[in-house]
Structure 1
Amino acid sequence: MAIFHSWGMTPSLNQADIREFYEHGTRIELLMNPKDPDFPRLQELMYELLRADSVDCKYSVNAEYVAICQRILKREWDVAKRETLGE
């Protein structure tokens, strides 16, 4: 998520020309739980970043992308903690 975000937010970069951008996006999609309530919106934001053709477009996605990733990662961290502690 962080690497995808980094590629997507780089101001002077045309991320659509960078194979690694696609690779990290695909990795997110393959590793995500499709039943996660935030997954559909995360996918939408990822594709908005792919289509972004200006710095303003990129930055308009930034805050929501970060917030969704934080929620997803927090939920997954809580699951990992419960499993580790045997709860």
Structure 2
Amino acid sequence: MVFRWLGLRTFEVWLTGRLLASPTFHRLVARVHQKVQHMKHGVPPEELSGRGTHADDHGSSLKQFFGYFKEEIKDQMKGKPPNKF
């Protein structure tokens, strides 16, 4: 009985060592940690700036902007209050 316990304990130690040596395990833990930190504290500005901006979509974003701009001008001419986001 003691031999079986020692065998299981040895297997557990070996398996734990393999898991802790695995880069995949560490990447998984880092991603989970990052998601928890973002949920608790929000995304830091450094990471937001690293993702890039929507300035790459010049054509579609300019069309959208001018579309919204025209709508706002029309609404103001009609006397409607401005939209609050």
- What TM-score do the two structures reach when normalised by structure 2? 0.29
Higher Rg = 2
Q: Which has the higher contact order (CA 8 A, sep 6+)?
A: 1
